[in-house]
Structure 1
Amino acid sequence: MSWEIVIGLEVHAQLATSSKIFSGSSTEYGAKANTQASAIDLALPGVLPVLNKKVLDLAIMLGLAIDGEIASESIFSRKNYFYPDSPKGYQISQYDKPIISRGQLKFVNNGEEKMINITRAHLEEDAGKSLHGEFERSTAIDLNRSGTPLLEIVSEPELRSAQDAVMYLKELHCLLRTLGICDGNMQEGSFRCDANVSVRKTEDPELGTRTEVKNLNSFRFVERAINYEAARQVEVIEEGGIIKQETRLYDPEKNETRTMRSKEDAHDYRYFPDPDLLPITITAEHIARIAKDLPETPWNKRLRYLKDYGVSIEDAEILANSPETSVYFEVCMRQSTLSPKLIANWIIGELSALINKSSVTISKSPIVPERLVSVLKKIEDGTISRKTAKHLLGLMWDSNSSADQIIADEGLSQVSNNELLEKVISQTLTNFPSQVEEYKTGKLKILGFLVGQVMKQTKGKANPAMVKALMEKNLRQST
């Protein structure tokens, strides 16, 4: 009998706001410890939380994008627990009336379209951060992060492999970034994942005992942690042991999970409505206002690129998965009548290579859409070859000069003069008589070699299409 992995994911996405969920403190990353914690964040007596309205709008955006149910009334509750990084002794979260419930998210893995149900998404505040190693024999607490707005997105336990889990997370990550809900910076903790993992025999309808692997902040760690934890559980069961319901931490250096604490149930937190915060009322008009300006989702954008532009599935995915790249592509499309496939190929290929080498984003690239279009037009009208265009793009990266100016200054124009090309071709045929004879005997692949020699003689400036046509004509005449 084989084993099946059952996975449910809880994603904590930091909402893209400049201030915290219940106070005016900054959410900027990297500030000196405890310089962005107000009286509200510190839970000092006599202060009251006030909801940041932007977090509500961002949550509604997600609800619309995943076709979820947006609550007409939602409440905040106190989740009670004692931990050093939570000075209040409780976390303000949502329990029985979350802002979003019953959504769906589609993703693709190995060419197969899949859909996962999302149980709920609720608003809550982040805790502070424990700093180990700052002081000998002591742990320091930084409360800058305390009160940072989070949207916790909880999936149903419907994922059946670590790779599926990663592809689901990548799709969600892409969606949140595209909508502007979260910047998705995993290194800074803006997008973190807890994985609930259990195993069962494939024919067993009952779910196994789950463990929760906390705070996974890279897609690679998610895949490795799930695979390790599933294998560990199978080994424990097959040796006659019992899986404990517990919270575990993943150690990426050792590639293993280890016990952190026993896993609490909801009643252990003694949830109750927060008396300092009024219920949230969300009207149909409010939802309609958000829906009116909702950006296109990556999933719908991919479908549109396939249908309207005829690009490949792979190219559509790359273009749509990055908000900056899709904007760049569409600006190029608006500014020209060039082939969408040509534009996509150059963005994904040569331009991306320059960007990766320079460690900048496409939105900061010195090759703005207008400049790329100008290069591609030179290919289409025969002014330069594709090989020369690659060289030209590199020169433009380091220069403010136009494509026309650089082509003139560097002498990059393609040779399309019939008389000149005929001379070079004639000389080539004279220099390689044995290859000409091979062509005459039916070895047509020799044509590529002969064309290559002409390109070599002209230092790559000859028009390849013209060279090929003229070469074929000369070879026919010599037979």
Structure 2
Amino acid sequence: MNTRTIIGLEIHVELSTKSKIFCSCSTDFGSTANSQCCPICIGMPGSLPTLNKKVVDYAVKAGLALNCNIARESKMDRKNYFYPDLVKGYQITQYDKPLCKNGFLKIGQGKNIKKIGIKRIHIEEDTGKSLHTNEDVTLLDYNRSGVPLIEIVTEPDLSSAEETKEFLESLRDILKYIGISDVKMEEGSLRCDVNINVATENGKSFSNITELKNLNSFKSVVKAIEFEENRHRLLLQEDKNTSKETRRWDDIANMTISMRSKETEDDYRYFLEPDIMNIALSEDEINKIKETLPELPRDKRERWATIFKLPEYDINILTSFLELANFFEETMSYYNSPKKLSNWIMTELLRRLKEEEMDISQLIFTPKDLAELLDLIDKGVINNFIGKKVFIEMINGEGKPKIIAEKNGWIQIEDIKVIDEVLRGILRENPQSVYDYRNGKDRAFGYLVGQSMKALKGKGNPQLINKVLKKLLEE
């Protein structure tokens, strides 16, 4: 049986505001349980919420980046349901008048570009967190209660696990670029629900929609979708159907597991939130937010492919986060060799940042300093091996690259008399290698070069060493 898969997403994104959506409590992650709470975010009777304007600004920013129409007027609503970590018995959210709607995000390349519709983006409060212990006791931490969220709801335009993964990766990059969330799935800043069903190619048979809840990694999203695709397809082949239900992904069992029957909108008994005034946005306010948008990842990648002629692999890494992309582009304003710079950043810089557990914003040296280092290597003032040593010193805050090289005596030896004298000594000490080379064993030459570099403490010009060594061996 030929079928097609139909996928829509509901994505919850924690916004990186300093305070919660309706109170001034901190949103810091990892604090002591229940240390960031007040009467408002734990739902005490008589407490009144006040909407954080920054939350509205961030949601509008996301909507503009995702090509949405921004509502000039919207409102907050109450969504009623019971759950232990939902302190008030309802969630303050948006129902029929979201801040943003009718947008899109492009995935794919070239002729295979596909627009995935964004149905709506609305703001809401997060719930608390249930902590299940080994003693069959559940503890509740309300630090997360009231943390601001945007919920991004797509149209059912995705048709495979791989498309979904690409969409989520593109969305993550955009949200991080525009600075509204750290989008760390491992900390719950980005959470994804998947609505999935399959249909026969002729469109006569559809499975019921299954909701896959709170998937917290791209790997889990892919595996859960693939499992459900197969489950739905097999049931249709047997003339059966899926239940309208919510399921979760079990990483250990490698399968989805039923949680509960699927709620409908009527179950939530939405009504207007009476304690918060309607949200009104002027054209000027929206335009001011639009002016703060950076160049978005897809646009940047297309521009770089044209002007820098870099491979797609390099571009994807260098544009993976805005600070790195900006660092590369600023360095390129002082140094005109994109591929050499790309190689150096991807091998040396990113490796050192990982080893030192540093963020690129913590670097003491500037893009101009890195350009100067690469220029010293290109001009033969220092060789590549010494360049890496200088780079470590730059990370440690030891100053400008040329000063570091001079201070440590690392400037490359160009004096042909000095090199000639050292190499004659190496040949005298290694008669067997000289014999092997003259009898056609090319590996002996590499050994002699290595010994020469060692004797010159890495400061010899490699091209000059090769030239002089060949001349001496032919005498």
TM-score, length-normalised on structure 1?
Answer: 0.88
Is 1:339 aligned to residue 334 of structure 2? Answer: no
In structure 1, the residue matched to 2:224 is 225
Structure 1 SS opposite 2:373: helix
Q: 1:356 aligns with which of 354, 357, 360?
A: 354
- CA pair 36-453 structure 1, distance change in 2 beyond 3 A: same
Matches within 5 A, 1:134-173: 136-173=135-172
Structure 2 SS opposite 1:6: strand
Letter matched to residue 98 of structure 1:
P
CA shift at 1:112, angstroms?
A: 5.3
What CA deviation, in whole Å up to 9, does each residue of 1:60-91 have, x standing for no partner? Answer: 11111111111111121211112222222211
Output the CA distance in 2 between the equivalents of 1:449 and 1:471. Answer: 12
Structure 2 SS opposite 1:458: helix
Unaligned runs of 5+ in 2: none
In structure 1, the residue matched to 2:262 is 263
Output the CA distance in 2 between the equivalents of 1:464 and 1:184. Answer: 46
Output the CA distance in 1 between the equivalents of 2:86 and 2:387. Answer: 58
Structure 1 SS opposite 2:341: helix
In structure 2, the residue matched to 1:24 is 24
Matches within 5 A, 1:405-420: 405-420=403-418
Output the CA distance in 1 between the equivalents of 2:265 and 2:445. Answer: 76
Q: What is the aligned length?
A: 468
- CA pair 457-470 structure 1, distance change in 2 beyond 3 A: closer
In structure 2, the residue matched to 1:442 is none
- CA pair 438-30 structure 1, distance change in 2 beyond 3 A: closer
- CA pair 35-435 structure 1, distance change in 2 beyond 3 A: closer
Output the CA distance in 1 between the equivalents of 2:383 and 2:299. Answer: 35
8 Å CA contact 1:309–1:340 kept in 2: the answer is yes
Structure 2 SS opposite 1:196: strand
Output the CA distance in 2 between the equivalents of 1:43 and 1:177. Answer: 31
What CA deviation, in whole Å up to 9, does each residue of 1:296-347 have, x standing for no partner? Answer: 211122223223333332222211111221232233234x234232222211
Is 1:11 aligned to residue 6 of structure 2? Answer: no
Output the CA distance in 2 between the equivalents of 1:399 and 1:291. Answer: 38
Output the CA distance in 2 between the equivalents of 1:205 and 1:193. Answer: 29
Output the CA distance in 2 between the equivalents of 1:196 and 1:215. Answer: 11
In structure 2, the residue matched to 1:89 is 89
In structure 1, the residue matched to 2:385 is 387
8 Å CA contact 1:451–1:468 kept in 2: the answer is no
Structure 1 SS opposite 2:55: helix
Output the CA distance in 2 between the equivalents of 1:41 and 1:296. Answer: 36
- CA pair 435-99 structure 1, distance change in 2 beyond 3 A: same
Letter matched to residue 83 of structure 1:
Y
Structure 2 SS opposite 1:295: coil
Matches within 5 A, 1:51-90: 51-90=51-90
In structure 1, the residue matched to 2:192 is 193
8 Å CA contact 1:71–1:282 kept in 2: the answer is yes
Output the CA distance in 2 between the equivalents of 1:315 and 1:171. Answer: 16
Output the CA distance in 1 between the equivalents of 2:107 and 2:153. Answer: 16
CA shift at 1:401, angstroms?
A: 4.8
What CA deviation, in whole Å up to 9, does each residue of 1:364-410 have, x standing for no partner? Answer: 24555344333212102211122332233234444625433442354
Q: Which moved more, 1:373-382 or 1:418-427?
A: 418-427
Output the CA distance in 2 between the equivalents of 1:206 and 1:46. Answer: 52
TM-score, length-normalised on structure 2?
Answer: 0.88
Output the CA distance in 2 between the equivalents of 1:232 and 1:456. Answer: 64
8 Å CA contact 1:451–1:471 kept in 2: the answer is no
Letter matched to residue 87 of structure 2:
P
Structure 1 SS opposite 2:6: strand
Unaligned runs of 5+ in 1: 440-445
Output the CA distance in 2 between the equivalents of 1:452 and 1:301. Answer: 45
CA shift at 1:463, angstroms?
A: 2.6
8 Å CA contact 1:306–1:312 kept in 2: the answer is yes
CA shift at 1:217, angstroms?
A: 1.3
CA shift at 1:352, angstroms?
A: 1.1
What CA deviation, in whole Å up to 9, does each residue of 1:254-287 have, x standing for no partner? Answer: 2221111111121221222222222211111111
CA shift at 1:472, angstroms?
A: 8.1
Output the CA distance in 2 between the equivalents of 1:112 and 1:435. Answer: 55
CA shift at 1:208, angstroms?
A: 2.9
8 Å CA contact 1:455–1:461 kept in 2: the answer is no
Letter matched to residue 181 of structure 1:
I
- CA pair 449-464 structure 1, distance change in 2 beyond 3 A: farther
Matches within 5 A, 1:73-472: 73-108=73-108, 113-133=113-133, 136-204=135-203, 207-334=206-333, 336-365=334-363, 368-398=366-396, 400-421=398-419, 432=434, 435=437, 450=445, 453-454=448-449, 456-459=451-454, 460-467=458-465
What CA deviation, in whole Å up to 9, does each residue of 1:199-220 have, x standing for no partner? Answer: 2334437653121111111112
What CA deviation, in whole Å up to 9, does each residue of 1:231-276 have, x standing for no partner? Answer: 2333343445320111111122222211111111212212222222
8 Å CA contact 2:99–2:123 kept in 1: the answer is yes
8 Å CA contact 1:121–1:154 kept in 2: the answer is yes
8 Å CA contact 2:103–2:117 kept in 1: the answer is yes
8 Å CA contact 1:338–1:377 kept in 2: the answer is no
Output the CA distance in 2 between the equivalents of 1:282 and 1:401. Answer: 49
What CA deviation, in whole Å up to 9, does each residue of 1:160-216 have, x standing for no partner? Answer: 221221121111111111111111122221111111122233443765312111111
Letter matched to residue 47 of structure 2:
V
Output the CA distance in 2 between the equivalents of 1:43 and 1:397. Answer: 49
Letter matched to residue 391 of structure 2:
L
CA shift at 1:93, angstroms?
A: 1.2
Structure 1 SS opposite 2:101: strand
Output the CA distance in 2 between the equivalents of 1:53 and 1:452. Answer: 68
Structure 2 SS opposite 1:198: strand
8 Å CA contact 1:77–1:95 kept in 2: the answer is yes
Output the CA distance in 2 between the equivalents of 1:400 and 1:222. Answer: 45
